[in-house]
Structure 1
Amino acid sequence: MMIQPRLKKTALALALVVLSGCATVNIDESLNTSNQSLAGFKQSQATLIQTDEQRQAMQAKADDILKSPLTQQAAVDLMLTYSPQFQTVLAENWASATQAAQIGRVHNPVFAFERVRIKDELELGRLLSFGLLDLLTLPARQGIAQREVDRAQLQLTSSVVEQVTQVRQAWVDAVAAQQALHYAQQVFESAQTSAELARRMQEVGNFTRLQRVRQQSFYADAALNLAASRHKATATREALVRMLGLNTEQAAALKLPERLPDLPQSPKAPGDVAKQAENRLDIRMARLGFESSAKAQGLGNVASFLDVEAGVRYDTIFENDTGERNNKKGWELELALPIFDWGGLKRDALNARTLAAANRLESTLRNAQSTLRESYSAYRTTYDIARHYRDEILPLKQTIADENLLRYNGMFIGVFELMADSRDQVNTVLKAIDAQAEFWRADAALQSTVVGKPVVVAVSGSSPAAGGDAGAGH
């Protein structure tokens, strides 16, 4: 008589053990894992804001950061804890991870109730049913779910890397554009002065019309360049503002450094870069994707043939004439018979997904080192170009400027030749700023590629313009 209660307790214990193995998602733990794995990449903590208290704390932190000129690392810190755009990325990843974990959960049982009257007889039917195949395949589905949750974790880390890289490059663009605007203003003022001087010299007969128009042309070009530079500085600044999620008051308070950081003393060594890229995110994600597809194919091959529903029935029949009450107990088993559809198309789709995942993994493995080599080449090339501007071209231009100043003081050249040389020197500085900005963009791209989120940057390598045609002297 004690066998049935023991069986019930045993079944309940087994059910609890099975359910305890279900994959779960805790966004705070996921963020902690991501923060730890990217500790050397971003040097700050990503946070999902879920309460008003957290939002107010982050608002105060953002206001405090904006009191000083915004460094690149401060921009990363601000984005990771304050930007609504980044918060959207985190929330969407949380949703994707919970959907992945849902695969490993048992479907809820279905309770059916029916009331049927036949003449003087009333029948109440009760049926509790559940998917028997769903329960039998639970361990396999839990394995698939855990792999998908792990993959979502890697996707979260990859999304953080992408956002941090974009902010770093946006910061470089904004600072470089602001720095270039300063020099464009100098070119404009020099051209404006030379154009006014040429007009006055023509009025007194010391300049021809052609000479005056040439100086006026320089001034017109400088005005156009100044307008374009001013808009570029505004556009890049606003792009950074949007990525940081600043409101109108915070955007007005934003202060950028006057210039880009200096180049490092030496570039990163290829061996060190290759060593850091040994455990890349893209390879791990592709491998988990293939394993999930392979497991899902094995499970789907079984489920494509049949489906099984099991149920426990308990019916009560009332005889209205006699007042008798009879109970019926039993169980039901429902099988989906593969008569019209043998699941061939489903199995083909599963085979295709697994094949695609296998080829995606192979493609990722083959492309990983190639993208790393390309990214390092861009990094090293932009470093060499920027250093060449710093160590060779700019000192040469400065020497020419010093010599021309001596020649001007000795009255060997006129003021227009001196101004033209000054404009040419500033144009070279602008190209040096562009080269320096390209290096810092390439540096951000290389850091992202090393982690496993390949980013390709263009390398212009433009040479400085030839010495300005100064126009006739006096």
Structure 2
Amino acid sequence: MSRVLRLTAGALAAAFLMGCAPVGIDDALKETNSSASQFTGGKLELSRTKAQREARAALADDLLSEPLSEDGAVRLALANSPSVQALIAQSGAAISSANQTGRLPNPVFTFERMRLNSELELDRLLSFGLVDLILFPQRLSISRSQAAQAKIQLTGAVVDQVTQVKQAWVRAVAAQQSLQYAEQVNQSAEASAELARRMQLIGNFSKLQRARQQVFYADATTQLASARHAVTASREALVRGLGLDDSQAARLQLPERLPDLPKSPRDAREVASTASQQRLDVQLARAQLDVAGKSQGIDLLSTFVDVDAGVRRDTVFDSGTRSTRRGFEFDIRLPLFDWGSAQRDAMNAQTLAAANRYDATVRGATSQLREDYSAYRTAYDIARHYRDEIVPLRQSMAEENVLRYNGMLIGVFELLAEARDQIASVTHAIDAQQQFWLADSALAASVIGKPMTTGESMAGAASQTPFGAAH
């Protein structure tokens, strides 16, 4: 009996020592700052103390004191956004739950006191799950795999959050920049409509000619209203992404224009070499497969049998005498009605599904990267084409028409129409530049293994009506 107690105590001590170094949220933050440094700048942290919160508030005030750059927007979101802090805290909860998986269930102490006439009996039983003790190394391994999975999910969530902030910043700046040109188009259309009205009054314009100018003015007014709303909507989306309160939102300043295009696009081979088996989506699928496989191994035995082992010590008092009984007992659940076949089938199906998800993720990773690089390169080529070809040609045409107007070869309406066409080209150039920066942030996320969809935004841009299409 003493040998059994010593072995049990030794096993419990070894189990305690094996599980005494769990993974914490600080380890997850350190890994995220290391593996996704291009997104976090090593600044991701969970604010627990008043001093940390005050430091975050001071950084937010400093960033809001000047026009906010894209990098500044990322820093502000990481420091100021409650959503970022919430996902970190949620990740901490997931890691703690994973650590709990690696803990042995507490033993059960049972105490009984029974009296029969002059006899008093005190029964004491200390029991624990024998199967749990046998499978503890596997439980600990599952716990570590689940913690690793939670860390990968945290990194992916942060990458997703930062990418959304970058894209919200691009849209807000582009909308603000486009509004300026929408106002110029509206002013030109208003001047044309007023001039056409006066010329009709003196008999130099027909009713149809005036109506054409008036329709264009009406369309330009509608475009201006839509552009103003786009500024508000994109700005508020950025405010939400940055986690600003009302006073901070009032202080938010944005640059007047988007950054210039880079001198050359990223090389396809460089992008392909950067993305490897270390992609987050592949790592996460692999971690899920590991957990499913290990869980199947640990649950297989419990589907057949469950055993509780206990150490008993009973003391009996009778007529002034005292006697003690010692022993041990086993409680075994008999598989009479349920042999666990359904549970085993479910585990097999889950493991098979995890294996196929991993295979699908590995196969789709490079395909997704090629698609995102194609969107990036196409957006770059289009934006550069507008910058180097279309906008300069429109500028040259406008200058030539000014000379023709000064030579009285064309009238004022033709000159105003050419000015509107030039503004429309600049507006489309801004939109093309916006699509490039959206695709650039999406490609950066895809390289690390957190793909984002850029097709919808590009399709939305292609469907916009040119300002000069109505004349």
Give the TM bin, normalised by the shorter chain. over 0.9
Q: 1:464 to 1:353 in 2, by over 3 A?
A: closer
Could you list the per-position Cα deviations for residues 138-168 of structure 1 after superposition, in whole angstroms to 9, with x for gaps in the alignment? 0011111111111111111111111111111
Task: Please state if 1:316 is matched with 2:315.
Answer: yes
- After TM superposition, list the pairs within 5 Å mapping 1:228-239 onto structure 2: 228-239=226-237
Structure 2 counterpart of 1:285: 284
Q: Which amino acid aligns with 2:247?
A: E
TM-score relative to the length of structure 2 = 0.94
Structure 1 counterpart of 2:373: 376
Distance 1:417 1:42 in 2: 52
| Deviation at residue 250 of structure 1 after TM alignment | 0.5
Bigger drift between 270-279 and 454-463 goes to: 454-463
What secondary structure does 1:24 align onto? Answer: coil
Distance 1:336 1:8 in 2: 23
Distance 1:46 1:399 in 2: 49
| Deviation at residue 396 of structure 1 after TM alignment | 0.8
Structure 2 unmatched ranges of 5 or more: none
Distance 1:465 1:291 in 2: 51
Could you list the per-position Cα deviations for residues 242-281 of structure 1 after superposition, in whole angstroms to 9, with x for gaps in the alignment? 0110010100100011111100000000110011101211
Q: Which amino acid aligns with 2:91?
A: N
| Deviation at residue 43 of structure 1 after TM alignment | 2.9
- After TM superposition, list the pairs within 5 Å mapping 1:250-399 onto structure 2: 250-278=248-276, 279-319=278-318, 322-399=319-396
| Deviation at residue 354 of structure 1 after TM alignment | 0.5
Determine if contact 1:151/1:285 at 8 Å carries over to the other structure: yes
What secondary structure does 2:289 align onto? Answer: helix
Q: 1:338 to 1:280 in 2, by over 3 A?
A: same
Structure 2 counterpart of 1:79: 77
Q: Which amino acid aligns with 2:439?
A: A
Could you list the per-position Cα deviations for residues 304-358 of structure 1 after superposition, in whole angstroms to 9, with x for gaps in the alignment? 1000101111222233xx2333322221111111111111011111101110011
| Deviation at residue 371 of structure 1 after TM alignment | 0.1
Bigger drift between 372-381 and 118-127 goes to: 118-127
Distance 2:279 2:449 in 1: 4
Distance 2:355 2:469 in 1: 61
- After TM superposition, list the pairs within 5 Å mapping 1:42-441 onto structure 2: 42-278=40-276, 279-319=278-318, 322-441=319-438
Structure 1 counterpart of 2:449: 452
Distance 1:466 1:333 in 2: 82
Distance 1:224 1:427 in 2: 15
Distance 1:57 1:468 in 2: 50
Distance 1:409 1:470 in 2: 26
Could you list the per-position Cα deviations for residues 92-114 of structure 1 after superposition, in whole angstroms to 9, with x for gaps in the alignment? 11111111121111111111122
Distance 1:42 1:101 in 2: 26
Distance 1:14 1:342 in 2: 29
Distance 1:240 1:468 in 2: 30
Bigger drift between 306-315 and 205-214 goes to: 205-214
Could you list the per-position Cα deviations for residues 267-309 of structure 1 after superposition, in whole angstroms to 9, with x for gaps in the alignment? 0001100111012111111112112211111221111100010
Determine if contact 1:306/1:337 at 8 Å carries over to the other structure: yes
Determine if contact 1:41/1:447 at 8 Å carries over to the other structure: no
Distance 1:286 1:32 in 2: 21
Question: What is the number of equivalent residue pairs in this alignment?
Answer: 466
| Deviation at residue 470 of structure 1 after TM alignment | 9.0
Distance 1:452 1:95 in 2: 24
Structure 1 unmatched ranges of 5 or more: none
Structure 2 counterpart of 1:21: 18
| Deviation at residue 210 of structure 1 after TM alignment | 1.6
Distance 1:470 1:147 in 2: 61
Determine if contact 1:48/1:81 at 8 Å carries over to the other structure: no
Q: 1:104 to 1:437 in 2, by over 3 A?
A: same
| Deviation at residue 7 of structure 1 after TM alignment | 8.8
Q: Which amino acid aligns with 1:305?
A: F
Determine if contact 2:128/2:308 at 8 Å carries over to the other structure: yes
What secondary structure does 2:376 align onto? Answer: helix
Determine if contact 2:305/2:333 at 8 Å carries over to the other structure: yes
Determine if contact 1:34/1:157 at 8 Å carries over to the other structure: yes
Distance 2:177 2:411 in 1: 30
Distance 1:470 1:31 in 2: 54
Distance 1:247 1:191 in 2: 39
| Deviation at residue 125 of structure 1 after TM alignment | 1.8
Q: Which amino acid aligns with 1:292?
A: V
Distance 1:43 1:71 in 2: 15
Distance 1:254 1:141 in 2: 50
Bigger drift between 261-270 and 327-336 goes to: 327-336
What secondary structure does 2:327 align onto? Answer: strand
Distance 2:118 2:139 in 1: 49
What secondary structure does 1:108 align onto? Answer: coil
Kindly, what percent of the aligned residue pairs are identical? 53
| Deviation at residue 34 of structure 1 after TM alignment | 0.9
Determine if contact 1:427/1:465 at 8 Å carries over to the other structure: no
Bigger drift between 15-24 and 125-134 goes to: 15-24
TM-score relative to the length of structure 1 = 0.94
Determine if contact 1:431/1:464 at 8 Å carries over to the other structure: no
Determine if contact 2:446/2:452 at 8 Å carries over to the other structure: yes
What secondary structure does 2:336 align onto? Answer: coil
Bigger drift between 24-33 and 238-247 goes to: 24-33
Could you list the per-position Cα deviations for residues 413-472 of structure 1 after superposition, in whole angstroms to 9, with x for gaps in the alignment? 11111111111111111111111111100000100000011112113484998895897x
